[in-house]
Structure formats: structure tokens, C-alpha cells
Amino acid sequence: MKPSATVAVNARALELRRKGVDLVALTAGEPDFDTPEHVKEAARRALAQGKTKYAPPAGIPELREAVAEKFRRENGLEVTPEETIVTVGGKQALFNLFQAILDPGDEVIVLAPYWVSYPEMVRFAGGVPVEVPTLPEEGFVPDPERVRRAITPRTKALVVNSPNNPTGAVYPEEVLRALAEMALEHDFYLVSDEIYEHLIYEGAHFSPGTLAPEHTITVNGAAKAFAMTGWRIGYACGPKAVIKAMADVSSQSTTSPDTIAQWATLEALTNREASMAFIAMAREAYRKRRDLLLEGLSRIGLKAVRPSGAFYVLMDTSPFAPNEVEAAERLLTAGVAVVPGTDFAAFGHVRLSYATGEENLKKALERFAQALQ
């Protein structure tokens, strides 16, 4: 299993900063906002009330109920608490899922560019990742017929991530419907990673689990929407047997997510007024940053596909170097840390995260221009 490229690059950027290097880091896939105060206060209450003991492997009952209600209310998914699980981040939900459903040699279709961890998790479970490309000229939106041609008798799952990391693409409802119909027709699982669902600037979010509930596992979490990356709380819903198998993996690995963080997440999901106000504020800030970054890149002659969601831009690196790794090294020398697209299967691109302040983005654009000169 390869280490996560995004984690490694971000760690390198942080180390350079600690050494006093003047560096703009556009690497981290996490909000730069602090966790909302009402969520932090809920954690303090949990501590004061002694809610510090082990939790059940699938999560505390109160949070599982809130997760089920969230999926019903926001995604149109008719699920019960028994069809939900709380995990150590959305990453563990995906990891446990692949451990639960894959036998050696099972194939999992992943749409490239993809989040770096999908294929590695599949390989770790003995599966075989099968890449299906999405193209810049098509806005990185999947072509259902291209996906269909990749299906074989060994296909066990298809991973869909909308809004997408690293492209920022938001998949249209008709595309997601077509993919859900394929899951039904060929009897494989649809893994819908919806962690960025609240960060959409054009278009609308659609959960394909509404069409194929017995074939879909929907994964989400508190990290991106509520700026709770370090709290490590993810959640998922799906067929009861799959959820139970995922909980069995937890019971023999982490036991359960952090109990205090679970009570804090319960507040994030149930205090709707405060949480939605925070999401609206953050989403508008990201929208402004995206527009600033895209306008600046265009002004200095750099190409990027306009993202409709998440907080990433894939930038064409051909003006800087023959490949994305050399381009990232050159930009690091110029004082900007970016993530090479290599492990995303986004060759010839680097990923820029605009989950940072506008002043940092302006400084990065100035350094891009200097590097070009």
C-alpha cells in the first residue's frame, strides 16, 4: 500500500513552514475555518458530564438516529438507525466497506481522476481497481457508456464521488441515474462518497441511493461541512447486512470513534439553524475564493477546468515543466506548495486547494506569474 500523496505533501509543506520558509500551501483538503462554537461547546458539555467511555462499534445510538434523520431529510434516503454506522472519519467508512464486501480478485470501478485513497483501499482488501477516465474537455463528468464498457462478471462495486476530489466536478442527476441503473442491472454496489455535498456553487446535489437503496452505500461525514477534520467522525448508510459487516471490522480495529467527538457531531447535525448558517458562510467564502483563483489563473495564462463544487482546482502544468511532478517541485521552489496530480491519475495537472484565505491565494498567483517568467 502506498502512502497518501496528499498527506505526504501537506506534511512536507508544514515542515518547511516550521523551518521558517515563506511558503503558501495550497495542499490541504480541509477547511481553514475553525469548528463552529456550538459544536465545541457540545464537546465541553460531554466532558463535563463524563461521556468519556467506550461507545458501541457502530456509534452511539443518539448519533445513529441523527445520521438516519440527516440522510432522510437532506438526501431522500429512507434509512433506519440500524442501517447507519459512525466511523473514524469518512475514510474509515470506505476502508471498512471494502474490507467487508471484497473478495480477492473482485473488481471496483473508480472514475479517474480520483481521490488517492480509493484504489489503495481496494488493493488492501484484495480487490482490483479498474480505472475509467473522465476528461477535462467533458468537465470531468463521467460518460456512462465508458463506465458500462468497464463492467465485467467480477465487478463488485463502482465508486462515485460528487462533488469530486480532485476535480470539483458536480455530476448531473441524469449521469448518476444512469450509473445507479447499471448497479441494479449488473448487481454490483454503488459507493457514493458525498463528503462535499454542501459545497456546491453551480448545479444541485443528487444522492443515487434514492434509486438503488439495496445496492448503494452512501458515505459522508462531519469534516468538510462543519470544519471538523481533526474530530475524525464519518458516517454511512446502506443495506443492513453491509453496515453490520462494516461495524464488525470496526469492532476488531478501532472499536469505535471518539465518544466526545460523537456528541459534538450530534450537536452539529441537530442544531440545524446554527450549523446551516455556518455552512452558508463557508460556502460563500469558498465561492469567492474559487472565482478569485480562476480569474487570476486565466489572467496569467494558466488553464484550469472550472469546478462546480468542493474546494479544489486542477491546473494544467504544461507551461511549467514536462510533467506534474517536476512542475510541483518548481512551484515549491517558487514558494507555493501544490499536490502533483500523479496519484489522482490527473497527469499533467496539479491540485490547488482554495481552502485558504484570499491573501494567500493572491500571493500564490503572484508566485505562479513569477515562476512563468
Q: What single string gives the DSSP state of each residue in 272-293?
A: HHHHHHHHHHHHHHHHHHHHHH
Rounded to the nearest 10°, the torsion over CA 240, 242, 245, 249 is -120
Number of Cβ atoms within 10 Å of the Cβ of 137: 6
Residue 140, pLDDT above cutoff 70: yes
Query: What is the strand order of the sheet 189-193 is part of?
Result: 84-87, 234-237, 216-221, 189-193, 155-161, 107-112, 128-133
> According to the model, what pLDDT value does residue 6 have?
66
> According to the model, what pLDDT value does residue 201 have?
98
Instruction: Look up residue 23 and give its amino acid.
Output: L
Instruction: Look up residue 347 and give its amino acid.
Output: F
CA–CA distances in Å: residue 230 to residues 67, 86, 226, 227, 360: 19, 15, 11, 9, 22
> According to the model, what pLDDT value does residue 17 have?
79
Residue range 123-129: mean pLDDT, rounded: 98
Residue 311, pLDDT above cutoff 70: yes
Segment among 1-15, 17-31, 285-299 with least mean pLDDT: 1-15
CA–CA distances in Å: residue 129 to residues 194, 231, 238: 20, 29, 22
Give the pLDDT confidence of 215-271 residue by residue, as tens digits: 999 999 999 999 999 999 999 999 999 999 999 999 999 999 999 999 999 999 999
DSSP 293-352: HHHHHHHTT--BPPPSBTTEEEEE-TTT-SSHHHHHHHHHHTTEE-EESGGGT-TTEEEE
Residue 97, pLDDT above cutoff 80: yes
8 Å CB contact between 188 and 181: no
Rounded to the nearest 10°, the torsion over CA 63, 161, 93, 234 is -30
- Whole-number average pLDDT of the chain: 96
- Rounded Cα gap, residues 343 and 4, in angstroms: 8
pLDDT grade, residue 3 (50/70/90)? confident
> According to the model, what pLDDT value does residue 218 have?
98
Residue 336, pLDDT above cutoff 70: yes
- Rounded Cα gap, residues 107 and 119, in angstroms: 10
Q: Is 187 left (phi over 0), alpha (psi -120 to 50) or beta?
A: left
> According to the model, what pLDDT value does residue 4 have?
72
- Over pLDDT 70: what percentage of the chain? 99
> According to the model, what pLDDT value does residue 7 have?
73
> According to the model, what pLDDT value does residue 5 have?
67
Residue 20, pLDDT above cutoff 90: no
Residue range 179-206: mean pLDDT, rounded: 98
Residue 1, pLDDT above cutoff 80: no
> According to the model, what pLDDT value does residue 149 have?
98
- Rounded Cα gap, residues 85 and 255, in angstroms: 12
Task: Give the ranges where the chain is alpha helix by DSSP (H).
Answer: 5-18, 37-48, 61-75, 89-101, 117-124, 144-150, 173-186, 240-251, 259-270, 272-299, 324-333, 358-372
- Over pLDDT 90: what percentage of the chain? 92
Residue range 33-58: mean pLDDT, rounded: 98
